Chains A and B, each alone.
Chain A
Amino acid sequence: MSKALYAILALIACAASVALVVLGVFGSPETLGSIRELGRFVLLSTFNVFSKRWWAGSPEAVTAVLWDYRGIDTVFETTVLYAAIAGCVALGYAGLRKPASEGRKEGRGLGEGLTLVVRAATKILFALILITSLNVALHGYITPGGGFAGGSTFAIAPLLIIAAYSTNAMVRRGFSFLRSSALRSAGLVGLALVVLTPLLYYGFVLQNQAKPGSPFPGYPAFLGPLFLGGSLIYLNLAEFLVVGMEFIMVFILFHVLDRVLGGGGHGER
């Protein structure tokens, strides 16, 4: 009975949404080919070398909006990610201290896992993924990419190692929980430094280039022959470290999660 009610509610919502679109809330037939005024302002001013009053020093408009025009949104998003991972650590931290309960299930050594071909291919792929993700993260102010894209692409690499070897092998090779946590904290400290440095000059928080009314001269956009996009390159690198390491922490925590309640989960393999 209630399932029919849900279906009718869903149908009403769908029809109402279509009516909203037709009535012009999302754009009418006359304005199909144009965008909103704020978007046009961002596009005009993001790399405007002629009038540097509001420019962001980066030809990539999306990264400029993420870290310059709406930078505080991104800082709080990093905080939300941090809080979620803190919750996961709170749920599973006891499992990191307990030793492995049954030696058979947990003690897969370095030689176990999938076949030799898969393991050899994984070694090559790991290096390639690392270089690609670092490239995507560091070039975030010239080409599409940025900190989050680089961090998410980097997270595929430890996943391959977990699948081909085992989580214990990855931990023993050096991706332990403590080390990833330390690297993540280093990334967060770097982020805080870049965000708060303009305050030393009595400028604005998270200021990228020189703005009217602030004595901070801005991070350099062109340093001799190099093109650094202001503060965007440092912010992207810090965010790459934070996101990549947080994913490794989540994978390790998921592996030790069933040690917490005394091995109570009788799951299916």
Chain B
Amino acid sequence: MVSVEFVLYVASFAALFATAAVGAYGVLAKRNVVKKIIALTILGDTVNTVAILVGFRVSGRVAPPVLPTLKPSKEVLESFASTAVDPIPQALVITAIVINLAVTAFLLFLAVRAYALYGTLDYDEILRLRRGEGP
């Protein structure tokens, strides 16, 4: 049978994917634009966490991906490569966090301008006004 560690690992994945599903539901089904933006940030951050969880090492000895000495010997290097967590997903996630931040800041600007133009933050209402049908 599978070990307790694997069950806990899969359960954490399930909780994170459920959070991503909640975020996606918020983006699609809510009518207020600011609520959509909040749900978008939740979705983005959850996907980043999943990426880091994939690169984690579920074993006895783990270490962060930082070499603690400036004069390493061969044994130190070998043990570092065998116990440290994966550094590539972490670098990609830093990039993703900054890009999400840039996009969210721009979307908030757009939301404030849309409110000043249409007088409402209800997305269906804005669509109706743009089509010219009136409220």
Q: CA A35 – CA B85 in complex, angstroms?
A: 7
Q: 20 new A-B pairs (CB below 8 Å) besides A39-B87, A70-B91, A260-B113?
A: A6-B25, A11-B21, A14-B17, A29-B2, A33-B58, A33-B59, A35-B85, A35-B86, A36-B88, A42-B88, A43-B87, A47-B67, A49-B71, A49-B72, A50-B74, A59-B72, A60-B65, A62-B65, A62-B90, A91-B109
Residues of A contacting B3 in the complex (Cβ-Cβ under 8 angstroms):
29
Contact B102 A85 (CB under 8 A): yes
Scan residues 59-85 of chain A and give those whose CB is less than 8 A from a CB of chain B.
59-62, 64-66, 70, 73-74, 77, 80-81, 83-85
From B65, B77, B109, A87 is in contact (CB under 8 Å) with B109
Q: Does A201 contact B (CB under 8 A)?
A: no
Point out the residues of chain B lying under 8 angstroms from A32, CB to CB. 5-6, 9, 57-59
Tell me the dominant secondary structure on chain A's binding face: helix
Q: Which one of A101-109, A112-120, A127-135, A251-259 is at the B interface?
A: A251-259
A residues within 8 Å of B by Cβ? 2-3, 6-7, 10-11, 13-14, 17-18, 21-22, 26-27, 29, 32-36, 38-40, 42-44, 46-50, 59-62, 64-66, 70, 73-74, 77, 80-81, 83-85, 87-88, 91-92, 143-144, 146, 148, 227, 243, 250, 253-254, 257-258, 260-261, 264-265, 267
Chain B minimum-CB-distance residue to A35:
B86
Most chain A Cβ neighbours within 10 Å, of B54, B81, B92 = B81
Q: Which residues of chain A are near B127, meaning CB under 8 Å?
A: none
Report how far A179 CA is from B22 CA in the complex, Å: 42
Chain B stretch 5-50: residues in CB contact (< 8 A) with chain A: 5-6, 9-10, 13-14, 17-18, 20-22, 24-25, 28-29
16 contacts between A and B (CB under 8 A): A2-B29, A13-B20, A14-B18, A17-B20, A21-B14, A32-B6, A35-B55, A35-B86, A39-B55, A50-B74, A59-B70, A60-B67, A65-B87, A84-B103, A146-B94, A243-B98
The reply to whether A61 and B66 contact each other, CB–CB distance below 8 Å, is yes
Closest to A74 in B: B95
> Which residues of B line the A interface, CB within 8 A?
2-3, 5-6, 9-10, 13-14, 17-18, 20-22, 24-25, 28-29, 54-55, 57-60, 64-72, 74, 77, 80-81, 84-88, 90-92, 94-95, 97-99, 102-103, 105-106, 109-110, 112-113, 115-117
Contact assessment for A27 and B54 in the assembled complex, using a CB-CB cutoff below 8 Å:
yes
Contact of B66 among A59, A66, A74, A88 (CB under 8 A): A59
Q: How far is the CB of B82 from chain A (nearest CB, A)?
A: 8
Nearest to A44 among chain B residues (CB) is B81
Which residue in chain A gives the minimum CB-CB distance to B117? A261
- Residues in B with CB closer than 8 Å to A261 are 113, 116-117
Q: How far is the CA of A87 from the CA of B108 in the complex (A)?
A: 12
Closest to A250 in B: B105
A13–B14 Cα distance when bound, in Å, is 10
- Identify which of B55, B58, B99, B113 contacts A77 (C-beta below 8 A): B99
Interfacial chain B residues near A59, Cβ < 8 Å: 66-70, 72
B116 pairs with A264, CB closer than 8 A: yes
Q: Nearest-CB distance from B52 to chain A (Å)?
A: 11
**Contact partners of B95 in chain A: CB under 8 A:** 66, 73-74, 77
Task: Find out whether the CB atom of B116 lies under 8 angstroms from the CB atom of A265.
Answer: yes
- The 8 A-B residue pairs whose C-beta atoms are closest, nearest first, are A33-B59, A84-B102, A59-B67, A10-B21, A39-B86, A61-B87, A65-B91, A17-B17
Contact A91 B110 (CB under 8 A): yes
